[in-house]
């Protein structure tokens, strides 16, 4: 049995700039039609590995909020903006970002890497992460080009 043919889907480009909240709001507004379904997909993925109700999943996700505020308050602002722009709750956006952490045993997922001097020719730091693709989530794929005020721009899938 052969491997499936690679997808030829073109992924939409979402561009946003401004404060972290404004970046999130623009992201949420542009993806307003997808985000509620993506939350449902995230819950289905979670329940494939460890069944729990929507309420329990959201409550468990909410437990990470104080830690996120302490570690990355700008990103919490961005998540609030996404929630407001898409018309969903902050807990639902938070769930999408911590869903793997809610599992007692999680399957291996993405791999992160960093390259630091002297391994880079110009002395810069490079970092990235792959995305282990869930074929059922293909319709939610997009490219984000974010330009938060006062921070480096980001291009991510």
Q: How far apart are the first and last CA of the chain?
A: 30
Q: Tell me how crowded residue 16 is: count the other CB atoms within 10 A of its CB.
A: 22
**pLDDT value, residue 31:** 96
- pLDDT tens string 84-139: 999 999 999 999 999 888 886 555 666 778 889 999 899 988 878 776 666 777 77
Question: From residue 157, how far is each of 3, 12, 54 by CA, in Å?
Answer: 23, 10, 26
- pLDDT tens string 5-55: 555 667 889 999 999 999 999 999 999 999 999 999 999 988 888 899 999
């Amino acid at each position: 049995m052969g491997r499936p043919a690679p997808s030829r889907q073109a992924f939409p480009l979402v561009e946003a700039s401004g404060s972290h909240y404004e970046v999130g709001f623009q992201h949420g507004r542009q993806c307003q039609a997808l985000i509620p379904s993506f939350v449902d997909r995230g819950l289905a993925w979670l329940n494939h590995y460890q069944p729990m109700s929507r309420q329990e999943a959201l409550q468990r996700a909410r437990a990470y909020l104080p830690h996120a505020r302490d570690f990355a308050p700008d990103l919490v602002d961005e998540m609030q903006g996404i929630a407001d722009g898409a018309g969903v709750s902050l807990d639902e956006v938070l769930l999408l970002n911590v869903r793997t952490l809610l599992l007692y045993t999680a399957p291996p997922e993405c791999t992160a890497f960093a390259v630091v001097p002297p391994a880079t020719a110009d002395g810069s730091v490079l970092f990235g992460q792959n995305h282990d693709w869930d074929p059922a989530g293909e319709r939610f794929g997009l490219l984000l080009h974010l330009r938060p005020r006062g921070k480096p721009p980001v291009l991510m899938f």
